[in-house]
Structure 1
Amino acid sequence: MPHLEAVTPAPLRHDVWSVGNTHCRSRYQIFAEAEPDLICRVLNLFAMQYLIPRQVSVLQQEGMLMIEVEVDGMTWHRAQVIGEKMRNLINVCTVELEPIGDSYVLSEPVSLAVG
């Protein structure tokens, strides 16, 4: 049996579509129909990019889920791409995305889906 070795974390993944952008912290607010696998599908979008959210909160009320996810270590462009992928998930009604902190200045949140 091989000995266990310490695994070093992977460096931040570069965004080849938006090389000049700095990394920022983003907050997603998702409103969706309550389905047992929806939380896993949302979090999987971050896992596929080797990102671990800083904070996740979920509230179920009257058959709906309100999910809030904070994540950093990606560019604003990548945050928007992930938001669009969330919007395409079945049962997702709306996705709101906003930057947190001083790394990126935006006057108001971006509404990625309204339905």
Structure 2
Amino acid sequence: MPHLEAVTPPALRPDAWGASNAHCRSRYQILAEAEPDLICRVLNLFAMQYLIPQQVSVMQQEGMLMIEAEVDGMTWHRAQVIGEKMRNLINVCSVTLEPISDLHVLSEPVSLAVG
């Protein structure tokens, strides 16, 4: 029986989805056209990840909704993915995401979409 050659595994990539990654509190600021179901669609993105926002505020002004949500208990990578999903919602004009705890080194907000 022939001997198998030793195969060296490739270098591991960082696991952005790993449960052991540091969690942070994130603030989303969403500007969107006012539609009756938009608030539910935005909050559903958190619910699908079993997350409950600590704080949500919504203000309607001149046909636009300004939504701000603070969510804790997820990695920065997951926060960015949820922000991108928000950006892809119909009627969303812009999404800004920023960390608001000291668990992550980023200090500047990330603009995910500007419409």
- The separation in 2 between residues aligned to 1:79 and 1:59, in whole angstroms, is 22
Partners of 1:21 and 1:63 lie apart in 2 by 40
2:42 corresponding residue in structure 1: 42
1:18 aligns with 2:7: no
TM-score by length of 1: 0.84
CA deviation digits over 1:36-55, x for unaligned, max 9? Answer: 00000000000000000000
Structure 2 residue aligned with 1:11: none
Superposed, 1:75-94 pairs within 5 Å as 75-94=75-94
Moved over 3 A (4+): none
Q: Which runs of 5+ in 2 are unaligned?
A: 1-14
Alignment of 1:46-57 (within 5 A): 46-57=46-57
Indicate the residue corresponding to 2:12 in structure 1. none
Percent of aligned pairs sharing the same letter: 85
For 1:59 and 1:74, locate their aligned partners in 2 and report how far apart those are by CA, in whole Å: 26
Please list the CA deviations of residues 6-25 of structure 1 after superposition, one character each: whole Å capped at 9, or x if unmatched: xxxxxxxxxx6432520110
How big is the shift at 1:98? 0.1
Measured on the aligned residues, the alpha-carbon RMSD in Å equals: 1.1
Please name the residue that 2:67 is paired with.
67
* Residue aligned with 2:30, SS: strand
Deviation at 1:105, TM superposition (A): 1.6
In the alignment, the residues of structure 2 paired with residue 21 and residue 48 of structure 1 have an alpha-carbon distance, to the nearest angstrom, of: 20
Worse overlay, 20-29 or 86-95: 20-29
Moved more, 72-81 or 19-28: 19-28
Considering only CA atoms, is the larger Rg found in Structure 1 or Structure 2?
2
Aligned length: 100
TM-score normalized with structure 2 length: 0.84
